[in-house]
């Protein structure tokens, strides 16, 4: 079976509830993608660092219940997970507030077990991470991770980079552009959006943003419910189907899109069909509060991953 690794951070999620109260869950961009990948039938491990506290225990138990492998989760004594709170407006657009500067996940590239984690990447068929993942680590950690990704690709793995950009994680935008450029050149698949890229390249058209990304397989999600898939230099516009319910929270829209896209590609679907699958799942997710929707709300159908050493092109 095709093995997938998702690398990043999961945090405690606080979201609005009735009566001005907050409900507690968990989420984080690559973790959200891992959950939806597992629900779509992928064999996925999550790679991160957590503390040795009860909330971290709860997270690991929750991931295992979703079918996510947790053997690559490092535990850091005395550390805690980060926290984020979601605030949504009347259109469902979200705003995040974070408490994560000392979170355990930030130390993933600086632990005694880090070399083993990096070496393990060569044992996966597909590796997924985001710009938020890269923003967690210092310059040396980013370089070590890129080196490990290169070795994994030489061993036959494919690498997907999601451009999920949060300005607060990149106080130096020139450095962010440099890291993005390196990730673009290394990735087999780039999952981008105009929302992510315009803060880095202000005023550019969708066409120019696509031109900044080399590689044969690129998906650019647009500000409207649509995307452009570029395959071997040819662009294909994809329109999302109209939503069947009201948008209540756009949290994890991009994460769920990525999960459905990757799951479809691993199952042998072409990029255009994969993008349609991404829009379909994202269209369901945004109609529910929080990052992880109930299992009962998942659209019908399960995408079985292929069993070859490498995903189909």
List pLDDT tens digits, range 117-158. 999 999 999 999 999 999 999 999 999 999 999 999 999 999
If one compares 65 and 97, the residue with the highest pLDDT of the two is 65
User: What average pLDDT does the segment 19-41 reach?
Assistant: 94
Model confidence band, residue 303 (pLDDT cutoffs 50, 70, 90): low
User: What average pLDDT does the segment 176-185 reach?
Assistant: 98
Whether the pLDDT of residue 311 is over 60: the answer is no
* Predicted local distance difference test score (pLDDT) of residue 95: 81
Q: Which of 116, 172, 255, 270 is catalytic?
A: 255
User: What average pLDDT does the segment 170-175 reach?
Assistant: 95
User: What average pLDDT does the segment 95-106 reach?
Assistant: 91
Known active-site residue 255: yes
**Check: CATH 1.10.10.10 for 3-297?**
no
Model confidence band, residue 309 (pLDDT cutoffs 50, 70, 90): very low
Q: How far apart are CA 115 and CA 112, in angstroms?
A: 7
* Predicted local distance difference test score (pLDDT) of residue 7: 98
Model confidence band, residue 161 (pLDDT cutoffs 50, 70, 90): very high
Domain ranges of the chain: 3-297
φ/ψ of 183, rounded to 5, equals -65, -40
If one compares 43 and 311, the residue with the highest pLDDT of the two is 43
* Predicted local distance difference test score (pLDDT) of residue 93: 77
């Amino acid at each position: 079976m095709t093995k997938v690794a998702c690398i990043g951070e999961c945090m405690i999620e606080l979201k609005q509830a009735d009566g001005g109260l907050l409900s507690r869950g968990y989420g984080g961009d690559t973790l959200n993608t891992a959950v939806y990948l597992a629900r779509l039938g992928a064999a996925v491990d999550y790679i991160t660092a957590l503390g040795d506290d009860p909330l971290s225990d709860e997270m690991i138990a929750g991931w295992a219940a979703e079918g996510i492998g947790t053997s690559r989760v490092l535990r850091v004594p005395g550390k805690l997970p980060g926290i984020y709170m979601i605030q949504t407006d009347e259109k469902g657009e979200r705003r995040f507030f974070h408490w994560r500067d000392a979170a355990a996940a930030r130390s993933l590239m600086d632990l005694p077990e880090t070399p083993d984690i990096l070496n393990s990447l060569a044992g996966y068929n597909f590796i997924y991470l985001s710009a938020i993942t890269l923003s967690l680590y210092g310059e040396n950690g980013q370089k070590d991770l890129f080196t490990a990704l290169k070795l994994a690709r030489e061993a036959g793995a494919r690498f997907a980079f999601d451009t999920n950009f949060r300005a607060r994680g990149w106080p130096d935008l020139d450095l962010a552009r440099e890291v993005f450029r390196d990730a673009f050149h290394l990735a087999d698949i780039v999952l981008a959006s105009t929302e992510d890229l315009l803060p880095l390249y202000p005023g550019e058209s969708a066409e120019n943003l696509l031109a900044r990304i080399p590689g044969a397989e690129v998906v650019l999600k647009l500000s409207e419910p649509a995307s452009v898939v570029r395959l071997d230099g040819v662009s294909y516009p994809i329109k999302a189907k109209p939503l069947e319910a009201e948008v209540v929270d756009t949290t994890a829209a991009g994460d769920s899109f990525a999960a459905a896209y990757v799951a479809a590609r691993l199952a042998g679907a072409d990029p255009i069909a994969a993008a349609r699958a991404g829009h379909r799942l994202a269209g369901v997710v945004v109609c529910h509060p929080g990052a992880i929707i109930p299992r009962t709300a998942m659209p019908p159908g399960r995408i079985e991953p292929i069993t070859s050493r490498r995903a189909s092109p």
